[in-house]
Amino acid sequence: MNASYAEELASSPLCANYQAVRATTLQLTEPFSAEDQMLQSMPDCSPAKWHLAHTTWFFETFVLSRHPGYRPFDPRFKQLFNSYYKQLGAHPQRGTRGLMARPSLERIRAYRAHVDEAMLRYLETAGEKSAALVELGLNHEQQHQELIVTDLKHALWSVPLPPGRIDRPRPGSNTAAPLSWIGFEGGIHEIGHAGTGFAFDNEGPRHEVLLAPFRIASRLVTNAEYLEFMTDGGYRRAELWLSDGWEAVGAQGWKSPLYWEEQDGVWLEFTFDGLREIDPAAPACHVSYYEADAFAHWASARLPREPEWEVASGRAARRGTFLESRTFDPRPASGEGLEQMFGDAWEWTASPYVPYPGFKAAPGAIGEYNGKFMCNQLVLRGGSCATPEGHVRATYRNFFPPHARWQFMGIRLAQ
């Protein structure tokens, strides 16, 4: 590519954004070996290598394949790296992604380079409709950037030789801001995407909701507070738990959040650097909906409902710990008012993931992106320390089944 052509492309905001997002994905995986990027520690996780390929597959399948003259890198990849789009044909089962020793990591990187070169040329003349599809692809890749972080963390925790214990103290303060309750008036409120800027289809249409007066906690529940719940027999008291949650506690042997481990009376947590003492002031995370709900019952509170969270977020500053920090650890709340609404840890809500009134999935395979998952899942809000900062917004609806906890999932209380 000659210099003048590169300068011309760099003047395009969409092109610059494309290059930045794609570069970030490679930067996230660069510190890890080919063996690390091959790991699939459970069916809910995917190998980092697969994420690199699938995000590339998205652009090749939904954008470039419709462009005359484009030659696929390898026609077999259309089926191999399809995740769940049934209208595009058969695809491997999710739990078998760790068996993909072939193609090699080098070939997948070559696949990315091939598609990137074609995309940069395509973006030179992309129309408005095509630009919207590219923007969806970039937001899709940002979702997978977070999954790369969380899936690799689970993989490294699962291997026979995980990183060892770290005894040096954490940087920063170990004191959390005091918890307070912030009240909101009842009445009719509007929630959902307002129609400006990017949003996924499940964030709209914007609509009215009727809320009773409520209060919401000023910050996330801390590790110290969660330890109090554990010490008070939280995992042994059936009266605190939903029936399905109590079954999960018994079946899975839960006694603490995921990645916690007790050694000589000291609670440690697994991080990318290794095991280290928990920070009492940091948000408790890697908890399931069941654990969040049980804690809320123990604390004589409840989890916020999705509309309450969104209304409350209008008073919150957009600051927190995001993927750009590269710390991949939520940090203690330090300010006043409504803190940690964005970043640090996803916040479980008490709301099922269902379509908003008037929701319609897009026609064709792209309509399978969100709509077909609107069953048996709970909504989370706010983003985490592994979410790109530019990817979060007040209307963003994340969703997972209630037993999931390998994501950075935390707790905010409501009353």
Token pair of 213 as six digits:
């007066």
Q: What is the pLDDT of residue 44?
A: 96
Q: What is the pLDDT of residue 41?
A: 97
Residues in the chain: 415
Q: What is the pLDDT of residue 172?
A: 60
Q: What is the pLDDT of residue 126?
A: 74
Q: What is the pLDDT of residue 164?
A: 83
pTM of the shown model: 0.94
Phi, psi of 177 (to 5 degrees): -65, 145
Task: List pLDDT tens digits, range 185-197.
Answer: 999 999 999 878 8
Q: What is the pLDDT of residue 167?
A: 79
Q: What is the pLDDT of residue 1?
A: 35
Task: List pLDDT tens digits, range 93-113.
Answer: 999 999 999 999 999 999 999
**Which residues in the chain land under pLDDT 50?**
1-11
CA count, 13 A, side-chain hemisphere, 225: 24
Q: What is the pLDDT of residue 12?
A: 58
Q: What is the pLDDT of residue 8?
A: 41
